[in-house]
Chain A
Amino acid sequence: NAGVMQNPRHLVRRRGQEARLRCSPMKGHSHVYWYRQLPEEGLKFMVYLQKENIIDESGMPKERFSAEFPKEGPSILRIQQVVRGDSAAYFCASSPRPVGNQPQHFGDGTRLSIL
């Protein structure tokens, strides 16, 4: 399966711990988007990255959240000192180009639960 791969599928953390979510884009895709879906809500854009660059982080909370997409390896969304309100499904999507009406391909998401 050459689709977008996210892991883990489910992640449980206690308040104050760190959460690391990983996303491997589709083969040949160098543009990655992260979205957050709160319960019973739509997806909200968080950050857009290309290899080694953050292009648009206008949807990222200013504190505790960070993202990277290194030259080698998956994109990582990192949440430090998690709080209950971070409980959500986090989806990654990839595309081959920044613009050009290319639809994004989504992974199955990581469901983060904070105890």
Chain B
Amino acid sequence: GDSVTQMEGPVTLSEEAFLTINCTYTATGYPSLFWYVQYPGEGLQLLLKATKADDKGSNKGFEATYRKETTSFHLEKGSVQVSDSAVYFCALSDPSTGNEKLTFGTGTRLTIIP
């Protein structure tokens, strides 16, 4: 079945540091890939997405590129801020299943210190 493997956390960085959170996937079809962010006590918010190979999703300074050859979708940001502290989830949906149910990684808790 489909699965998502995500970099273990927690991750602690200083403000303005470079961020990478690794994500790899296994899917039988041609999935769409997503990064969601969860702030304390809240639901998930879509951060960015990519729907086909070599697509780059970007939002709020975050980027991720759909790499079919390495089945990866790593999240990057050049200069993190304290407000980026949250839990980040990599996810996929496989349209060949007939619906858009999401398969999530276990999440990476990111803490940015001033």
A contacts, CB < 8 Å to B: 4, 6, 31, 33, 35, 41-45, 48, 55-56, 59, 91, 93, 95, 98-109
Contact = CB atoms under 8 A, between A and B. Distances in A.
Contacts of A45: 101-103
Contacts, number: 72
Contacts of A35: 102, 104
Contact of B95 (A93, A99, A109): A99
Contacts of B51: 101
B89 A106 contact: no
Query: What is the interface residue range for chain B against chain A?
Result: 20 to 34
Contacts of A4: 43
A42 B32 contact: no
A101 B100 CA distance: 8
B100 A41 contact: no
A91 B107 contact: no
Interface of B: 4, 6, 32, 34, 36, 41-46, 49, 51, 89, 95, 97-107
Given A33-B100, A106-B45, 13 more contacts: A4-B43, A33-B101, A33-B102, A41-B106, A42-B6, A43-B44, A43-B102, A43-B104, A91-B44, A93-B102, A103-B46, A107-B43, A109-B43
A56 to B, nearest CB: 6
A44 B105 CA distance: 9
Max chain B C-beta neighbours (<10 A), residue from A6, A42, A44: A42
B43 A106 contact: yes
A103 B44 CA distance: 11
B114 to A, nearest CB: 25
B105 A98 contact: no
